Structure 1
């Protein structure tokens, strides 16, 4: 029996990486839009922030333990790229901790928004570099699962709130 769901067999892992990044970009935009919005309660903002931060952390931890290990074995010339991306993951994790602290406290909206802008810029640079350097190699992989390689399942088709199919 194949480890893939029927939907996963139709998609290459590099393309799935792009889908996950698109979903994370959209979630971050929603989170940023909620900062300072009088219609968004602080508790809802904190909940959304914690869910987003957890999703990014799961994705990066999954990549480090999954896709990056497989690619290091199968495409050794990617080692320098993989090391750079892992270093980025540590920078993103530090920024996520600062965002969580700000959203969990009584920080003014402009300070939260500034930190989210920093996170958005860091993630965008990271995602573009990762996609440029890894999509073809990921698309060539023939074994594994989206969650096992990329840390999270594919985002919902309806653009809903979580990365599940």
Structure 2
């Protein structure tokens, strides 16, 4: 059975916002650590892993369903996929050598991506039946 059954789809837009809020909180926790230590590195790696899993899930499920049911969103989905590639590169850099500058750059790109995604997809996700 498809992972996206109708009850799951009906709340998916709201769930997307909740997941983004959780990822924002993870990033804020990493940014609150004042020194580049193992603790800081662990927080960065946990955040990178969570964000990567989130984007992989979007690519494999949500984007496919939206593209099928809302073909007019395909250009938006392609832009979001390009964002995912850019963010994946930033995640690799942060994971390799987490610094405050790398984390701040990732946070700026991520926030822009999340805001765009929420603006463009939440209504369509919540309208799916």
After TM superposition, the score normalised by the length of structure 1 is: 0.70
In the alignment, what sits opposite 1:54?
Answer: 49
User: Does 1 or 2 have the higher relative contact order (CA < 8 Å, sep 6+)?
Assistant: 2
Q: Return 5+ residue gaps in structure 1 as ranges.
A: 104-111, 143-165
In the alignment, what sits opposite 1:115?
Answer: 102
- Name the count of aligned residue pairs: 124
Change (3 A) 1:69 1:91: same
In the alignment, what sits opposite 2:69?
Answer: 74
1:51 positional shift: 1.3
Q: Return 5+ residue gaps in structure 2 as ranges.
A: none
4+ runs deviating over 4 angstroms: none
1:36 positional shift: 1.5
- Is 2:28 the partner of 1:29? yes
In the alignment, what sits opposite 2:113?
Answer: 126
RMSD: 1.8
User: Which one of the candidate residues 83, 86, 94 is aligned to 2:81?
Assistant: 86
In the alignment, what sits opposite 1:163?
Answer: none
Inter-partner Cα distance in structure 1 for 2:103 and 2:89: 12
Rg bigger for which structure? 1
Equivalent position SS for 2:97: helix
In the alignment, what sits opposite 2:92?
Answer: 97
Inter-partner Cα distance in structure 1 for 2:34 and 2:86: 22
Equivalent position SS for 1:96: helix
Report matched runs for 1:122-161 at 5 Å. 122-142=109-129
